[in-house]
Amino acid sequence: MPDKMPKPNVVFVLADDLGYGDLACYGNPIVHSPNIDLLARQGIRFSQAYAPSPVCSPSRASLLTGRMPARLEVTDALGDAGNKWNSGRRLNPPANPKSLALDEITLAEKFREAGYATASIGKWHLGGAGHLPENQGFDVNFSGNSLGSQKSMFGPDYGIGLTPAPPGEHLAERLEQEAEKFIRENRGRPFFLYLSHYSVHRPIGARPETVSHYPGKGPPPWGLLPEYAAMIEELDSTVGRLMSFLSEQGLTENTVVVFTSDNGAVKWWGSNGGLRGTKGTIYEGGIRVPLIIRLPDIAAAGQLSDTPVHGCDLFPTLLDIAGIPLPANRVFDGLSLRPVMHGETGFPTERPMLWHFPHYNMHGSTPATAMRLGQYKLIRFYETGREELYDLSIDPEETVDISESQPELLRQLGTRMVELLAETGAIMPQINAEYRFTEPELKELQPFESTRTKPGLMANPTSQLVPHAEGSEVTASN
């Protein structure tokens, strides 16, 4: 990038547990998401974008470093949440670290080195004291800590360590307001904003007036729990507010905006658009996610790309857009997507993508690894040694296992998977010699698992129409 060109600002909006089929612009006929839909019309929408992991912490670590979870050795959600699901099973999963290692290089560290102001606003879940955003390159940290979720979407107590909020204050709106504050204070210099929402992670909750927009769950595979659909709509309204604010500040034309999710939707209330599996699994429903990138200089707004892309690609992509070189002497697992976004040819579509999840979880997963290479996807389950092979070009729902009919292809992909696991230093699960052939009972999740505010008990502020930056109107609430 020539020195005379201003450095672009970067706003990275990350939703939590938002599924591939949870947005109107990804085909959902039920949910109202006009602002994210508009963002897609202004930029490029990817139909085959993948999260680095089916669960949160590994995905977040990879998104911020450009390195696969297996390489980072962060392969499960951090904290104690997974311990009960991984104890007493047929296999002993590898131990998960307590934090993202400080010697990993994050996007924030690279942007700060280049003179950017940096902020992490919202969920962190990559470590506690000594391993917080401020220890990983962020000048500002609002609410980021070791916790994996809120306890309520509404004040006074969100359950994430903040001082008591006004009753009925909305957490997603509070985070957006903090984002505005950061941008306002740093509009005279380039900035990198990582806005990591707690929405739409459980406990599910939304304002009753928004819930009233969704009288029923709707038909499969698009049907959403009404409270969950309302939660998406309220998240969407904050995207509209943020885009309007950027316009008011005269920053729209020099700001890159990324919107994506850390993994697929939870099966009990979200939608993965007919894809097999759910959050926590390495079927497509657990790892294929929405991805929208809005560039000031994009070749053609409203593009739809079916190029398979990976969350690790965002690290080199954003640095490339900003004219910041990749760190030397370090292996990265992503590629810059600038050629794809500008309609250029030659971007490799046959590169391997790996999802190593050697753990058990509440979503029914057992230790497994998946690899996509071109149109094919191989899954290997370690309890039984079973392998499944799918041709995603004709079967994205993974309904027809072709492993028996394609033995040579199965062998070739299996060899490549083993090589890639070795290249990334993946740690494998081990046989549990003390296994007693009894499995722990898995308790079904309930949407309103909250010890604090539930939707019917919250304050009920009046909704009002907030103009979007491009002139459309969307429902939002103070």
Which residues have C-beta within 8 Å of that of residue 283, sequence separation ≥ 6?
275, 276, 277, 379, 398
The burial of 103, by beta-carbon neighbours within 10 Å (0-12 exposed, 13-18 middle, 19 or more buried), is given as exposed
Identified catalytic residue from 32, 125, 201, 310:
125
The span from the CA of 400 to the CA of 333, in Å, is 29
Whether 25 is a known active-site residue: answer: no
The structure tokens 């079967």 sit at 395
Give the tokens for residue 451.
């010890």
Identified catalytic residue from 25, 56, 197, 356:
56
Any alpha helices (H) in 392-474, and if so which ranges? 407-424
On whether the CB atoms of residues 263 and 201 are closer than 8 A, the answer is no
Say which amino acid occupies 172.
A
On whether the CB atoms of residues 330 and 105 are closer than 8 A, the answer is yes
Strand intervals (E) in 336-392: 352-357, 368-373, 376-381, 387-391
Coil vs helix vs strand at 55? coil
Whether 56 is a known active-site residue: answer: yes
Peptide bond into 200 cis (omega under 30): yes
The span from the CA of 429 to the CA of 48, in Å, is 29
On whether the CB atoms of residues 150 and 201 are closer than 8 A, the answer is yes
Coil vs helix vs strand at 411? helix
The span from the CA of 317 to the CA of 309, in Å, is 11
- Just list the catalytic residues: 56, 125
